[in-house]
Amino acid sequence: MSVGFRAFFAAVLVALSTLASVPAVAGTLQCAPFARQQSGIDLHGNANSWWGQAEGRYDRGHEPQVGAVLSFASSRSMPVGHVAMVSKVVNAREVLLTHANWSYRGGIERNVRAVDVSPNNDWTDVRVWYGPTGDLGLRSNRANGFIYAHAPKAAPVLIAAADTSGPALRAAF
């Protein structure tokens, strides 16, 4: 083997070993940063952590609203969950979602159908448009609910009824 060939071969091995240490998702658009950018909801980490992180920081619920993020639970097919922003409410059981990394690795899909198929109409079981089939996906996906892009409303403050029977208060009325 010539010295030049050995140097070239060594350089190729170094390059390949460097590539092997880079995660497979490097450079691939993920759902969480995309949902954060689209919705303004400032949560970080894997999608499956958003529902818990939102508690006390953002209102959460089971009614779709434009701009809210639908939080999908972890599952065997989605170990880190999924998040998608509601771009339009069609009716109480159907919305259009804008999200990344669902039908196509790193792909963005805008205004795709999602249908609530939960028995209690509470968005805990959802079927979502899947590009390769050109229709709703074959399986439903467990969801936590919606994270709304505003801070939770403060709990109402209860004010005790004033005793108006005393002489000082009676005179004020």
Domains defined along the chain, listed by start: 31-147 (3.90.1720.10)
In this prediction, residue 28 carries a pLDDT of 82
How confident is the model at residue 20, as a pLDDT? Answer: 33
Q: Which residues of the chain have pLDDT under 70?
A: 1-27, 154-173
Residue 161 pLDDT: 55
For position 145, what pLDDT does the model report? Answer: 98
Residues 6+ apart with CB under 8 A from 41: 35, 50, 54, 58, 69, 147, 149
pLDDT on residue 169? 46
User: What is the pLDDT, as a whole number, of residue 19?
Assistant: 36
4-32 residues labelled b (16+ CB within 10 A) or e (exposed): eeeeeeeeeeeeeeeeeeeeeeeeeebbb
Q: Give the global pTM.
A: 0.74
3-state secondary structure 103-162: CCCCCEEEEEEEEECCCCCCCCEEEEEEHHHCEECCCCEEEEEEECCCCCCCCCCCCCCC
Residue 14: per-residue pLDDT: 43
Three-class SS of residue 88? strand
